[in-house]
Each structure stands twice: as C-alpha cells, then as structure tokens.
Structure 1
Amino acid sequence: MTIEPIPTLATPVRGQLVHDRRTRRTGVYMDTVGGRLYLRPVGGGIEWTTRPEYVGPPSPGIPPDPGRRAG
C-alpha cells in the first residue's frame, strides 16, 4: 500500500496534537531527532516515530489515540 505524503505542518510545537497519516493515529508531538518526529498517544503510552511528510493537523472527525498506560 502506498501512502501519499501530505503537506506538512511547520515544525510542530511540543505538546501539539498532530495526526500521523501513515499509522492513522493522532498523538502529541514530543520531539524531532534525526529527522524523525516522536509522537505519544494522548493518554500516555509508548512513543512512535514517523517522518515529517506524514504529519498534519488532526481532522475534526478523528479521535485522539488514547494510548495504553503502563501498569
């Protein structure tokens, strides 16, 4: 399956809610390291990485990913 890149956000601000089209998940932007964006589920949980071209603003109809809490 090919995922078409979308127009990217300017560098997101830490804590900003963003949508990763590659994984179809909405999460909180944490940091950029080595050109990869680190996102975390809204309710906490394990971060995932994605490329900047797959990140855009969250769509109104897409709920945030609640994540999984450790414990």
Structure 2
Amino acid sequence: MIGIIGKTSSFIGPLVSSAIIDDTGNNSTPFYFLFALSLVSFLFLLFFVDVKKSRVEQVEFLERERAAKAKRVGGSELSA
C-alpha cells in the first residue's frame, strides 16, 4: 500500500508543478505552493495532534503486539 502511495506521489508531484509553471509562466511558483502546503501541514500537526496521547497509545500497541507474538511463538512450540 505504501509503495502505491509513493509511486502516485512521484507521478502527481511533477504534474502539479508543471501545471503551475504552465499557468503562471514562473519557474519558482511551485516552490511557493509546496512551501505553503508544507506550512499548512505543519500547522495541522502542531495544533491537532496530541503527541503525549500518541506516545501512550504507541506503548500500549507495542505491548499488545509483543504479547500476541509471545502467544504465537509459545503456541507453535507447544504444537511441535
């Protein structure tokens, strides 16, 4: 899934940049567009993502995964 997103981005990015250059005739305009897009993304992450809560959820997830892996490994040893 990640590979598809990466390939799509590598196709769409230059297409959008070329469209902006064709529309404005200025080669530096895509830089301003991408800078603004990055700034909006940064602000969204800054104000709407709770990093402390995310860290707690990550620790809980890793503990569940570790327990599930131990259960799978323990179960396969018993059946062997």
Q: TM-score normalised to the size of structure 1?
A: 0.25
Higher Rg: 2
Query: When you count strand as a share of all residues, which structure comes out higher?
Result: 1
Q: TM-score normalised to the size of structure 2?
A: 0.23
